[in-house]
C-alpha cells in the first residue's frame, strides 16, 4: 500500500487542499490587515508597536478610551477642533450638562452614522454609552476578552488542525515536521494568555506580538511547503 503524501494525491484531493490553503493564506493576510487597522492605531502612530498592544488591553490610563480612539483609528473621522472639543469634554468629566447643547450635535454630525442603534459598536445617540467611553481608559473589558479568547481558541485551532494535517503528508524532515505542526498551537495559547496578562501587567505586551508572529510564520511555512510539493513537485518530475 502506498502511503498518502502530497506528491501522489489525486487531482480532486489536490484541488481541495489547495483551495483550503489558499483561502487560509488570504485569511492570514486579512487578519494582519485587520490588526493594523484596529490595534495598530491605538497609540495614534502608524504601524503595530508594543504601545498599541498596551493601549488595547491594559488601556491608556492617562486619559479616556474616547480620547485614545480620537487620537488613534478615529482621527480621520472628524476635524482637529471637533476632536479637541470631545477630548476636553471627556477630561472635564463628561458632564451631562454639556451633552445636549454641545456634544450631541457633534455626535449626530460625525459619529452616529456608524455608532447607531443596532450596530455592533456603542450607540452614541445615548448619553450613557458615550459617558462610558469618556471615563479613564482601562483597556479591554473582561467580557470582551472572554468572548474574543474563546472565538480564537475554537476557530483558529481548527484552521491549524487542517493546515497541520495537510503538511503532515509533506516530504519534510520528521523532526522539523513535528516542530512546525506543534508551533502554531503553542503560540496561539501564548497569544491568548498574553492578552489576559497584559490586561493587568503591561510588561507582557511583547508576548502578544511574539505569539502572533510565531503562529503566522509557522503556518506560512507549512502552507507554502504544502502548495509547492502538491504542484511544483509534479512539474519538476515531468521535466526530469
The predicted-structure confidence for 141-200, as pLDDT tens digits, reads as follows 898 899 999 999 999 999 999 999 999 999 888 999 999 999 999 999 999 999 999 999
Which domain does 31 fall in, by range?
A: 11-42+141-239
- Specify whether the backbone of 201 is left (phi greater than 0), alpha (psi in -120 to 50) or beta: beta
Average pLDDT over residues 10-35: 90
Same domain assignment for residues 153 and 38: yes
Residues 234, 147 within the same domain: yes
Has residue 50 been placed in a domain? no
Q: Are residues 206 and 87 in the same domain?
A: no
Among the candidates 133, 155, 175, a domain finishes at: 133
Q: Report pLDDT for 45.
A: 67
Considering the domain boundaries, does residue 48 fall inside one?
A: no
Number of domains in the chain: 2
All three cell numbers of 37: 487597522
Identify whether residues 36 and 94 lie together within a single domain: no
> Helices (H), strands (E): how many in the chain?
10, 0
Question: Are 194 and 39 contacting, i.e. CB atoms less than 8 angstroms apart?
Answer: no
- Residue at which a domain ends, from 116, 133, 150: 133
In this structure, the answer to whether residues 77 and 150 fall within a common structural domain is no
Amino acid at each position: 500500500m502506498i502511503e498518502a503524501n502530497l506528491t501522489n494525491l489525486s487531482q480532486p484531493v489536490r484541488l481541495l487542499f489547495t483551495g483550503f490553503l489558499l483561502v487560509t493564506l488570504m485569511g492570514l493576510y486579512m487578519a494582519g490587515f485587520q490588526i493594523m487597522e484596529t490595534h495598530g492605531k491605538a497609540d495614534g502612530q502608524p504601524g503595530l508597536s508594543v504601545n498599541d498592544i498596551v493601549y488595547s488591553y491594559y488601556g491608556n490610563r492617562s486619559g479616556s478610551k474616547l480620547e485614545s480612539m480620537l487620537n488613534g483609528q478615529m482621527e480621520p473621522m472628524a476635524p482637529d477642533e471637533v476632536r479637541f472639543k470631545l477630548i476636553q469634554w471627556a477630561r472635564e468629566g463628561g458632564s451631562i450638562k454639556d451633552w445636549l447643547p454641545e456634544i450631541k450635535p457633534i455626535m449626530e454630525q460625525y459619529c452616529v452614522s456608524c455608532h447607531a442603534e443596532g450596530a455592533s459598536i456603542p450607540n452614541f445617540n445615548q448619553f450613557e454609552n458615550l459617558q462610558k467611553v469618556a471615563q479613564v481608559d482601562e483597556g479591554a473589558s473582561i467580557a470582551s476578552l472572554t468572548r474574543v479568547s474563546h472565538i480564537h481558541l475554537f476557530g483558529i485551532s481548527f484552521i491549524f488542525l487542517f493546515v497541520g494535517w495537510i503538511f503532515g503528508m509533506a516530504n519534510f524532515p520528521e523532526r522539523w515536521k513535528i516542530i512546525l505542526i506543534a508551533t502554531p498551537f503553542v503560540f496561539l495559547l501564548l497569544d491568548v494568555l498574553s492578552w489576559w496578562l497584559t490586561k493587568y501587567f503591561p510588561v507582557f505586551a511583547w508576548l502578544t506580538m511574539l505569539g502572533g508572529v510565531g503562529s503566522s510564520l509557522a503556518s506560512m511555512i507549512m502552507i507554502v511547503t504544502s502548495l509547492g510539493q502538491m504542484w511544483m513537485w509534479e512539474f519538476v518530475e515531468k521535466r526530469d
